[in-house]
A and B are shown apart, each in its own frame.
Chain A
Amino acid sequence: MLNYSKKLLSHFRHPHNLGKIKNASGVGKVGNLVCGDVMKLYIKVKDEVIEDIKFETYGCAAAVATSSVITDLAKGKKISEALRMDNKRIINSLGYLPPAKIHCSLLSVRALRKAIEDYQKKKKA
């Protein structure tokens, strides 16, 4: 059996910020079905602050939980702060993440960065 922390299982059971945002400022989608994890992150940005954030994830319990955690961590943060976020923050927040699942935390970080890049691109356009 995988050694999941209580916190991780709790996020898996009751994910925070699940769903999508209509007219999102930015959307980031990472992963693919072949590797078994796909995450889609939606952000709503106002005055360079992430006002709202939601996710949809296809994947294992760790993929769902790390998505849930990153939405918690990013909500209310300035874009510049959110861009500095790394996967260690997610792992710390969960207490423990099995080594085989570290890639899930990296995927969540990449999803957030991609959503922000998407927002910045749209802003320039």
Chain B
Amino acid sequence: MKRIYLDYAATTPVDKRVLKAMEPYFEKEFANTMSIHGMGEKAAEAVEKARKQVAGLIGAKTSRVFFTGSATESNNWAIKGLAWANRDRGKHLIISAIEHDCVLNSARWLKGEGWEVSVLGVDGDGLVRLGDLEKMIKSDTVLVSVIHGNNEVGTIQDLEKIGQICRERGVYFHTDAAQSFGKEKIAVEEMKIDLLTASSHKIYGPKGAALLYIREGVKIAPLLHGGGQENRMRSSTVNVPAIVGFGKAAEICKREMEGENERLKRLRDKLIKGILEISGTKLNGHPTKRLVNNVNISFKNIEGESLLLRLDMGGIEVSTGSACSSASLEPSHVLLAMGLGAEAAHGSIRFSLGRWTREEEIGEVLKKLTKIVNSLRRMSPYKDYA
């Protein structure tokens, strides 16, 4: 059975061109970037080239991009590092209700350290309430953090408007762009972004490399202290092959973004249209302001994990924000924040498309999905859609 991977938002395979670019840095050019000899210099140069490549994707000054090990690390650094360095200015921060767990839990941790955390709500489409943001910002607010493209429902926030509000009120603005980096046009200067998180393994680069953009003049403390790598901002031996791969992946995205986005959008909308023809289905997230590769659907009277496993048995890999797949058993906080009932939140599935998704696969998925949905509904004690 040929498998169909529709979980690109979880992670992507490494592009062969990326793999090729990385290859020399494992056993030939393996030196430590901190070494003073020629080989060390070569490794350091490769990292600087990658820095230029990733910076080019967000219109950032190259020297303001810092490499980290993961988007989780970048988000932890942005929030805790900023809070620590600015604790004389205030002890209040604002995050949206639909942040990734790493932002949510970093803020929760700060709360335990005596910080006040306000949660910015969203509307039914997952867009943050800008009017509420203006009211939430106080004299002691230090940071606002809002995710760019939401990982579960795909809704894309208007960063420019949020950036404008934050700049006017003199508070720092951080955005987690792990899902949108390489898909959406981002310009950190115009959008007035102070800090931005992006990751390699969501754009066909390897796992283990990510970045935090920090605008010049932003006061932030490092999380990792040590040998002083990354301009004394992030100590750790530099993961050269992964960073080289990250750079190459960004370069490819920049070059191919326009055409690829058109292609993905067409496939995405075909999948959405096909699924909505099944009775008792609903699209979650904004109908147009959404990631080019995200489809999130609630299926009435069906529990997400059951659907996921049946699709998996049919050779189709997807994700669920459903309670039952995580240890917590709580329904997705993103869907609940958007006003969905627990029932709809339990029955939601995320399909995420990518570089190797083909049109005929969409047809295949729709065929299998319809059968599975009908079979699960026959099993259910609720019959209004069987």
Contact = CB atoms under 8 A, between A and B. Distances in A.
A58 B313 contact: no
B309 A38 contact: no
Contacts of B331: 36
A60 interface: yes
A29 B118 CA distance: 41
A82 B303 CA distance: 28
Given A13-B313, A58-B303, A64-B306, A33 B346 contact: yes
B131 interface: no
Contacts of A13: 313
Nearest to A15: B379
Interface stretch (B182-190, B273-281, B322-330): B322-330
B302 interface: yes
Interface string A10-50: 00110100100000000001000111111110000000000
B11 to A, nearest CB: 14
Contact of A61 (B301, B302, B306, B346): B306
A38 B342 contact: no
Please classify how large the interface on chain B is, using the bins under 10, 10 to 19, 20 to 34, 35 or more. 20 to 34
Contact of B380 (A2, A58, A62, A103): A58
Contact of A57 (B325, B329, B381): B381
Given A36-B329, A100-B329, A59 B324 contact: yes
Interface string B368-386: 0000000000011110000
A2 B382 contact: no
A38 B382 contact: yes
B323 A36 contact: yes
| B323, B331, B346 pick with most chain A CB within 10 angstroms | B346
Contact of A38 (B313, B325, B327, B381): B381
Given A33-B342, A36-B342, A56 B313 contact: no
B381 A64 contact: no
Nearest to A9: B309
Contacts of B325: 2, 60
A12 B310 CA distance: 9
B343 interface: yes
A13 B311 CA distance: 11
A108 to B, nearest CB: 14
Nearest to B342: A34
Contacts of B327: 100
Given A36-B303, A36-B346, A100-B327, A58 B309 contact: no
Contact of A36 (B313, B324, B382): B324
A18 B381 CA distance: 11
Contacts of A39: 381
A124 B382 CA distance: 29
B305 interface: yes
A69 interface: no
A18 B325 CA distance: 23
B379 A56 contact: yes
A63 B380 contact: no
Contacts of A57: 379-381
Contact of B303 (A2, A18, A34, A63): A63
Contacts of A34: 341-343
B380 A61 contact: no
A29 B381 contact: yes
Contact of A64 (B322, B341, B342, B379): B379
A97 to B, nearest CB: 13
Nearest to B326: A100
B303 A37 contact: yes
B305 A56 contact: no
Contacts of A38: 380-382
A36 B306 CA distance: 11
B303 A60 contact: yes
Nearest to A59: B303
Nearest to B304: A60
Given A36-B303, A36-B346, A58 B382 contact: yes
B306 A56 contact: no
Contacts of B305: 2, 60-61
6 contacts: A58-B382, A59-B324, A60-B303, A60-B304, A60-B322, A64-B306
Given A2-B305, A64-B306, 8 more contacts: A12-B309, A15-B379, A36-B324, A36-B329, A39-B381, A58-B302, A59-B306, A60-B324
By Cβ-Cβ distance, the 8 closest A-B pairs, closest first, are A60-B324, A60-B305, A40-B381, A33-B343, A56-B381, A34-B342, A58-B380, A36-B346
